[in-house]
Amino acid sequence: MRVIVNGACGRMGKEVVRLVESGFEGSSLAAAVDKFGSGDILTSFDDVKAEADVIVDFSNPSALPGLLSYAQSRNIPLVIATTGYSQEELADIRKASENIPVFLSFNMSLGIALLVRMAKQAAAVFKDADVEIVEIHHNRKLDSPSGTALMLAEAVKEVRPDAEFVYGRSGSHRREKNEIGIHSLRMGNITGEHDVIVSTDTQTITLKHEVHDRALLAEGALSAAAFLVGKPAGMYSMEDILKD
């Protein structure tokens, strides 16, 4: 599996390059791309000459147009692990998936995929429970709330169609029953923690996922890449890997 890593100078991009060079999932490095690159790291897809089987993207939403254009022009499957996209950018990704296989997940952890499934199930079983989502990340993370927190909230909304997202709390007013509270903390060097709290008047269930090492996310992205190679055009997610 020949891999192009986009965003190769970032914290996650470096982890993916390291794993690819170690041969994880039978991978080899076709090219490393980053606009801040130098030396062996290319600054543009225009400079990529090697053949590739898949692209793994841990970059920035600003890189999306060039990424989608290159992947579609070369008919290369694309794993997108970048977060912070606007609704318009997500629509562009979905449009691209009509032409190439696209794996999109705001968290590449299989554990998070299970957390999403369990959060949805808990919200369905405890129909009248209050649901709050708390996410904690390092103080350098740009987007807030995290893409994973939004993914969890959307999963709960699937079984509670009238739910409304409330980002943080301030002022003086009662909590409405249809609210899903989403709270973000930024501090220190925390890689990522997500809690889904489901609470009734008589009991509370807390579902928690904690990342101990960023390598987990790089491994998940390469596992997603191996899954994606050979698939027909379409949108894929961690749920598809769970089903597979």
Catalytic amino acids? Answer: 137, 141
Residue 232 is given by DSSP the state: P
Check: CB of residue 148 under 8 Å from CB of residue 192: yes
The backbone region for 26, taken as left when phi is positive above 0, alpha when psi lies in -120 to 50, beta otherwise, is left
Can you name the residues that pair with 136 across neighbouring β-strands?
185, 193
Query: What's the gap between Cα 134 and its chain centre?
Result: 17
With CA atoms as reference, report the closest residue to 194 among 131, 236, 152. Answer: 152
Can you name the residues that pair with 196 across neighbouring β-strands?
133, 207
66: its two tokens: 């060039």
How does DSSP assign 96-152, residue by residue? Answer: HTTTSEEEE-S---HHHHHHHHHHHHHHHHSTT-EEEEEEEE-TT--SSS-HHHHHH
The letter for the amino acid at 145 is P
How far apart (Å, rounded) are the C-alpha atoms in residues 206 and 208? 6
